[in-house]
Amino acid sequence: AQTVTQSQPEMSVQEAETVTLSCTYDTSENNYYLFWYKQPPSRQMILVIRQEAYKQQNATENRFSVNFQKAAKSFSLKISDSQLGDTAMYFCAFMPFNTGTASKLTFGTGTRLQVTL
């Protein structure tokens, strides 16, 4: 069974600054996917960024980037130029490879990020 650990229950960052959210996972699988989801107070789960384990290049999506260290089983999220709208709960998630289609997501416990003025 896979486990996902987010060791930072809460974090705070000032607007325009950079913040990094940590995530580690445990799996015996060699091929899998990793995700960061954002859940603002509206409770809508929003996909922020995804990473395929077979790709060495770190994924980036505008202000969001990841540092994927497969050997260390680490998958951190960096948010650059933080904005007030980034205030949300952030969940790291793991999904085993399943012929390239969607399958079960295992979530971490989440990190609550507060962006301040």
Of the candidate spans 22-30, 40-48, 54-62, 72-80, the one that interacts with other proteins by CB under 8 A turns out to be: 40-48
Comparison of 16 and 54: residue with beta carbon closer to other proteins: 54
Residue listed under structure tokens 């607007």:
15
Q: Which of 13, 53, 79, 95 binds other proteins (CB under 8 A)?
A: 95
Comparison of 9 and 117: residue with beta carbon closer to other proteins: 9
Q: Pairing relation of β-strands 24-26 and 3-5?
A: antiparallel
First CA to last CA distance, the chain: 41
Of the candidate spans 10-18, 21-29, 71-79, 89-97, the one that interacts with other proteins by CB under 8 A turns out to be: 89-97
Asked if 85 contacts 70 with a C-beta cutoff of 8 angstroms, the reply is: no
Four-point Cα dihedral 30, 33, 39, 42, nearest 10:
-140
Comparison of 82 and 111: residue with beta carbon closer to other proteins: 111
